[in-house]
Structure 1
């Protein structure tokens, strides 16, 4: 659903991606990120959040924890990240984003609490008192007192399967007092996920019951004497959602897809943020009137349901703007995405042709590459670097050959 949006609002990203692939500078199975657009989007979110008294923490998992993108986000005015897991926080820090929030959605493993504490996070979410004690012990060892957020849950709240857990919301005041008494931590506020969601029926974002739970919890805590209660309210976060969140009492928001213009609302409505990411691949071979396209990053975030996926096959000498988008037969979710297939007319696709997709990604769960590109606004695009989906540098061929040399030239048997 995002390919038409890309073609209409950021065709230069498609053109630059095609040119880089043709030149051999961009391998297939790469998410290409428009760093200038990401910086603009971050500035837009930061400005609106500042107007509303909200503090934004950037979520970078969707774009593969790309350090060049982290630098662009920081240049746009968002200085801290939220790490969906510890690796996410570490990768964001490598790109210059300080740790704003750790432990949500994925709790910090017990034996890695010291690593999390070493990042000096502003906030650390815990689902129970044991996790609060682990955070406290790790913070004490660094000479700090760690502000913690309590994940809370009430009847009627919605969580994705596998995301469940937290303190009962109806006992949040007592829970806050108990956690506040644990050495090394200080109760700071509450969180949940998701606070807002896209509603396909209305074509708009709606508040979840979880957001109302946060509002009630804040009021109860303030009535009990807690001051400056932080309310962390992530979910479908773009500038279009911020006023709603502020009115509900949120103090912290966590844009992720908003930074690349790929929230579900972006698919149906033009918002302030520009689309800033495309997936680039290549035709491997053609068989039975189907072009087989290299995969590896073909995980389409299912938030929009069974929406179809289209792609452009751009051959030598062809202009992406004049190519007709074709429906893609995506691998089943239960299959390894070695290839996607695209039905084509005889002779319409050849091995090596560039293929460009536009969809809502979750790059960190794939084996794709990511590559940031600068200069689209000036007409002089430059690739900043190629990274693996975990934010690390991909293994170079020279390193692999060096490893074989270390085996005395025998190689692998």
Structure 2
């Protein structure tokens, strides 16, 4: 059993760069318990008998146990109103976290670190002298000691109070809520498409881009459609080929020989002057619209999300992989990922999700800057990186971001 004291500035940057000063203390903080009986949301639960509620019921014989194989798991407490937090006491079961963060939030979406533990050894962690305020408090576990997951018997949050009267809680979600399921959730999937559209087409309305087509001078020929299919990178050829299979007499079928010829170059040979007009007219065909969506999912969205999920990433990481695949192709995404893995472990490998994504985005930015047409890296730095710095790994709305000088926002 141990007691630990940590003094730490707020923000992820401080967590990553400031050495932690930990001292042993035996004194008890005079503050009141703020957490007992308050609503709890868990990233997952083993079963109905081991939900997050069991960690705030005041009974050390009960416990919360995580229920999915994902390495990163969390418990979120609603303290009823904004509260100053000075101390958090965690009573671990056998399956403890070697690394975790204690965070506070005003809205349950953007999080600030109060404490970061990197050498946990189980038992009781009594973390004192914390300085932070928030309605919500989260314990974010990022490295487990046992393959079985995490298990907490009690979380006790202290502050000067007064404590808000607890709302009686009899049950809690046993699985990840829709907002945290990643891009398999329909709303998050739609958000991912909107985010890509702001970078590819400067609009949230991705469905309005079936007829978009132009040569943007990046050496890839014509760029067109909802994710920028290119005449020079094979995906436009694949799209028109599939469209022709589904609708043999379509307006674009006659351009297939030219698309095969220009594939791998920025040439328009055989496409001008009629191809752009034919593309825009084809965009009114529901079959062509559906084919664009299906090819987007087959070539980019599906493979990228599958790879991100296998790396243990949530919605933000899944989107970061998808956006990289759209710009660099799946082969380019894999190169970026491989380069990042030389220095940082993925969550699946036991690494910290935030640190992994930070490294992945660093490598992505470096790759973008090797291409003259992509030296503006705002689609990463003032969008994805901004979400990461806010601790918004689940891409929870509201969101605000900037891309190529334009501002965008999604409220819900």
TM-score range, shorter chain: under 0.3
Q: Normalization by structure 2: what TM-score?
A: 0.24
Rg comparison, structure with higher value: 2
